Amino acid sequence: MQVYKFGGASVKDASGIINLSEIVRKNRETPLLIVVSAMGKTTNALEKLTRAYVDQADDMQFIFEEIKQYHYEILHQLFAPNHAVFDEVENTFVEIEWTIEDEPHDDFDFIYDQIVSIGELVSTRIVNAYLNKAGIASQWLDVRGYIHTDNTYREGKVDWAKTKQSIQQDVPALLQKGVVVTPGFLGGTSENFTTTLGREGSDYTASIFAACLNADSVTIWKDVPGVLNADPKLFEATVKYDELSYAEAIEMTYYGASVIHPKTIKPLQNAKIPLLVKPFLHPEEPGTIISETQHIVFNTPVIIVKQNQVLLSISTKDYSFISEDHLSEIFGLFASTHTKVNIMQNSAVSFTVCFDDAPEKFEKLMLGLQPAFRVKYNTELSLITVRHYKQGLLKELTTGKIVLLEQISRNTVQMVVK
Ligand SMILES: Nc1ncnc2c1ncn2[C@@H]1O[C@H](COP(=O)(O)OP(=O)(O)O)[C@@H](O)[C@H]1O
Ligand SMILES: N[C@@H](CC(=O)OP(=O)(O)O)C(=O)O
């Protein structure tokens, strides 16, 4: 069997959904499970709605209406007005209505998951209905009953044993009857609440199903020809890799190559399942294949840029050395605020650390650090990582920029620049 994953960009409008159905139609020789993300930028819009609800902002209803309108316009282009999918979508939106009618309570992350998950619940119902309308037998699977997580809302941790058991129990039989369509990005707790797996987590969903079902391959359909040596939105001349090893792909995603979610590779590597990254607009092209292969010579360096970074310098107040005890206290705060360290460096009296700017986490971090340490920080920075680097390229990348921190190893250079 195979797993396909279609991201937001591929289902952003009616023609995207028609294109998806054509890709599926041409590839139905083996059983197929399809993971779909929210349409276009719906998750961003639902995040805005969650914020507006928690703040009880005046524009809350307006934001919600815009989200509904966007989906209904697409529905009208794909279905006759009396089609049953209209009720299915309406009923899903009603779940948000019920949530936002009540006063918001304290647990922002819980509220976030209950509202933001609607994006995938709606998109998959639309895709499933369209496949059936196009003559491709398809069933909708509620992923929340199959990917079991703990209750770490916004970053659900998968209970692999339970997940494997549920998926293996039901999904193979469903796949015999036709295509199975399921939401990406979501899981469910033992109390039947919805969780999300972290932003852009639908790639990970595809990888979880593939590992549990021992799939022949996973294909993620993207708006790019495959994995490129850099983000084409930031660099003009990019080169596609025909082939990558799991090891290289896991490094690239760890450093921030957003084309694949960082958690995607491990389950596939463990089960030796190849991952294909292919262009949804040119499905006949080979894209990039990521597999066990070892012997790839990198003539083209990989460039990864993470924007919106903070560089925080933490020093003792009395010029005493930064000790292991200090580091343990500092790391404790990073762990408790769920702040992932992207790069770090220490000197005698200071410890410097770079991470993604997330205002709520940053505020909590500062509150924890300020009583014991002196802290200075810079924001709006970029973290540039170059793998398989060449000296000339590093110069080119930093021309006109101030390098605030640099780290070099045999294969990788990382620079925090302003
Ligand atoms: N190394 C890279 N190769 C290809 N695309 C990249 C790379 N790094 C970043 N990207 C970006 O990833 C985007 C595709 O990922 P994403 O927007 O998450 O797709 P989807 O919404 O379909 O999951 C591309 O449009 C591109 O801008
Ligand atoms: N819709 C979610 C999950 C996801 O993976 O989306 P996409 O496949 O469009 O990156 C998000 O935007 O975070």
The interface predicted TM-score of the complex, written ipTM, equals 0.98
Kindly state whether residues 82 and 116 are assigned to the same domain. Answer: yes
C-alpha dihedral sign at 159, 124, 192, 178:
negative
Work out which ligand 2 atom sits closest to the CA atom of 38: 1
pLDDT for position 294: 73
pLDDT for position 29: 86
pLDDT for position 226: 98
Kindly state whether residues 111 and 55 are assigned to the same domain. Answer: yes
Tokens of 194: 């919805």
Is-contact 136 24, C-beta < 8 A?
Answer: yes
- Calculated CA dihedral for residues 335, 336, 340, 343, nearest 10 degrees: -60
Is-contact 119 74, C-beta < 8 A?
Answer: no
108-116 helix and 42-54 helix, angle to the nearest 10 degrees: 140
pLDDT for position 255: 94
Kindly state whether residues 285 and 320 are assigned to the same domain. Answer: no
Kindly state whether residues 180 and 228 are assigned to the same domain. Answer: yes
Total count of domains within the chain: 2
List the domain range (segments joined by +) for residue 387.
302-417
Nearest CA to ligand 2 atom 5: 200
Would 168 be classed as within a structural domain? yes
Tokens of 237: 């001349």
Alpha helices in 79-213 (DSSP H): 85-101, 108-116, 118-133, 160-177, 202-213
Kindly state whether residues 351 and 260 are assigned to the same domain. Answer: no
Domain with residue 160: its CATH number is 3.40.1160.10
Would 296 be classed as within a structural domain? no
Domain with residue 411: its CATH number is 3.30.2130.10
Would 88 be classed as within a structural domain? yes
Residues in contact with ligand 1 by the CB-under-6-Å rule are 7-10, 37, 200, 222-224, 227-228, 230-233, 257-259
Which residue, of 291, 313, 331, is where some domain finishes? 291
The answer to whether the CB of 185 is under 6 A from ligand 2 is yes
Kindly state whether residues 98 and 119 are assigned to the same domain. Answer: yes
Kindly state whether residues 23 and 152 are assigned to the same domain. Answer: yes
3-class DSSP state for residue 356?
Answer: strand
Is-contact 157 197, C-beta < 8 A?
Answer: no
Question: Residue 183 — φ and ψ, nearest 5°?
Answer: -70, 140
Kindly state whether residues 195 and 116 are assigned to the same domain. Answer: yes
Kindly state whether residues 287 and 306 are assigned to the same domain. Answer: no
Q: How far apart are CA 241 and CA 220, in angstroms?
A: 15
Query: Which position has the token pair 């948000």?
Result: 96
Would 267 be classed as within a structural domain? yes
Which residue, of 237, 266, 291, is where some domain finishes? 291
Would 297 be classed as within a structural domain? no
Kindly state whether residues 313 and 229 are assigned to the same domain. Answer: no
The answer to whether the CB of 200 is under 6 A from ligand 2 is yes
Which residue, of 257, 291, 325, is where some domain finishes? 291
Tokens of 319: 């010029």
Kindly state whether residues 111 and 190 are assigned to the same domain. Answer: yes
pLDDT averaged per 10 residues, the chain (length 418): 98 98 94 98 98 95 97 98 97 93 90 97 98 98 98 96 98 97 98 96 98 98 97 95 94 94 96 98 97 81 96 92 92 93 92 93 94 95 94 89 94 95
Ligand 2 center–CA 198 separation, angstroms: 9
Ligand 2 center–CA 263 separation, angstroms: 13
Q: How far apart are CA 72 and CA 66, in angstroms?
A: 10
Would 77 be classed as within a structural domain? yes
How many Cβ atoms from other residues are within 10 Å of residue 273's Cβ?
22
Kindly state whether residues 230 and 375 are assigned to the same domain. Answer: no
Q: How far apart are CA 220 and CA 33, in angstroms?
A: 12
Would 229 be classed as within a structural domain? yes
